[in-house]
Amino acid sequence: MENFNISNIDQTANLSSGITKACDICGATLDTEDRLGDAINHYLEHGWILLHVGGQSSWGPDGKVWTDTVAIVGRP
């Protein structure tokens, strides 16, 4: 594996299991709510790099804590 330098990242995209979005490259609808792994792989197939996977919590409109999985991908 070659050395990775984050300064080579030109663009990032945030994927969240709480929000369905379109691919920033080709516009394909990504089902991040049920298939976050497939959405991450979609970006990897475009040549992007997985930078981070983690959790995120927020208060939902129902007053309960909502938790989502988030991933940050970057384009070198």
Q: Which CA distances in Å does 6 have to 2, 17, 41, 48?
A: 13, 24, 20, 12
Reported as a pLDDT band with limits 50, 70 and 90, residue 2 is low
Express each pLDDT in 7-65 by its tens digit.
889 999 999 998 889 999 999 999 988 899 999 999 999 999 999 999 999 998 999 99
Q: Which CA distances in Å does 24 have to 16, 30, 58, 62, 63?
A: 14, 10, 25, 31, 32
pLDDT at residue 5 in the model: 77
pLDDT at residue 51 in the model: 95
